[in-house]
């Protein structure tokens, strides 16, 4: 399978203060999240009703218990994403030096079992040298995790997504590209994940860019002072 990375990306820069458009977009993202949350809650309500029916009739309720467990987990994940979106609006991001490459490798390792269950592969190209960014570690990890989940959700079994980490123009950039064999656009849950990633990155003076066909996301965070000095020494 071949992948082509866009040669020119026009990242979305973070604004210095909220605008009316920002507020409107935030409300739309929350509405999208609530729409996604409605599905597992609806299924959960039906499953619980069927557990009651099975209990009264003496039928096996195991299937509905499993269904309830699955959708409780899904609802919790969606709720966490909505909560994360809210936090980006009310709490300032922290700033610390983070080796973005090492953090991403850890996230991928943790997600491998779930990705294997989906039949999806992540092919990561991470430089050996530390990719030091000035960022909020928790928000950055959350953003990367959300993008990988979104990429997996639009991929069919047997598909592979590519992840690249590199330094460019004073930023550490992470690009995720999925060349899906079966065209699939992000559903409500995936769109919520992408909204969370966008909010997490922009809240740190970073850059975010997204294209849905083919699926492509760019996350960029400012280089740390150490990395900037290292690059200057290299070129001099």
Burial code of 194-203, b = ≥16 C-beta within 10 A, e = fewer? bbbbbbbbbb
Q: CA-to-CA distance for 22 and 35, rounded, in angstroms? A: 20
Which structural domains are found in the chain, ordered by start?
20-90 (1.10.287), 93-235 (3.30.565.10)
Strand 215-222's sheet: what is its strand order? 12-13, 207-212, 215-222, 171-178, 160-168, 121-125
147 CB-near residues (< 8 Å, 6+ apart): 174, 176, 193, 194, 197, 217, 219
Q: What is the pTM of this model?
A: 0.79
Query: For residues 163 and 108, is the Cβ–Cβ distance under 8 A?
Result: yes
Q: State the pLDDT at residue 15.
A: 37
Query: For residues 195 and 150, is the Cβ–Cβ distance under 8 A?
Result: no
CA-closest candidate to residue 133, choices 87, 165, 92: 165
Residues of the chain where predicted confidence (pLDDT) is lower than 50:
1-18, 235
Alpha helix segments (H runs only) across the chain? 20-57, 62-90, 100-118, 137-153, 188-202, 225-235
Cβ atoms within 10 Å, residue 61 = 17
Cα-based distances in Å from 70 to 56, 146, 217: 23, 19, 28
Q: State the pLDDT at residue 128.
A: 86
67 token code pair: 């269904």
Burial code of 76-88, b = ≥16 C-beta within 10 A, e = fewer? ebbeebbebbebb
Q: State the pLDDT at residue 230.
A: 59
């Amino acid at each position: 399978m071949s992948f082509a990375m866009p040669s020119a990306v026009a990242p979305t820069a973070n604004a210095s203060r909220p605008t009316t458009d920002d507020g409107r977009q935030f409300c739309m993202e929350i509405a999208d999240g609530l729409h996604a949350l409605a599905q597992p809650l609806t299924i959960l309500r039906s499953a619980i009703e069927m557990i009651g029916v099975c209990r009264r009739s003496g039928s096996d309720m195991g299937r509905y218990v499993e269904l309830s467990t699955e959708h409780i987990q899904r609802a919790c994940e969606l709720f966490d994403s909505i909560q994360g979106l809210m936090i980006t609006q009310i709490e300032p991001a922290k700033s610390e030096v983070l080796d973005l490459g090492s953090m991403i490798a850890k996230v991928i390792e943790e997600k491998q079992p779930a990705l294997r269950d989906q039949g999806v592969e992540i092919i990561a190209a991470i430089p050996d040298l530390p990719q030091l960014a000035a960022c909020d570690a928790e928000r950055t990890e959350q953003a990367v995790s959300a993008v990988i989940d979104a990429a997996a959700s639009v991929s069919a079994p047997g598909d592979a997504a590519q992840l690249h980490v590199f330094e460019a123009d004073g930023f550490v950039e992470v690009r995720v590209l999925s060349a899906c064999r079966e065209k699939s656009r992000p559903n409500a849950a995936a769109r919520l994940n992408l909204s969370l990633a966008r909010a997490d990155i922009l809240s740190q003076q970073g850059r975010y860019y997204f294209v849905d066909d083919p699926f492509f996301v760019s996350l960029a965070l400012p280089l740390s002072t150490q990395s900037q000095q290292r690059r200057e020494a290299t070129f001099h």
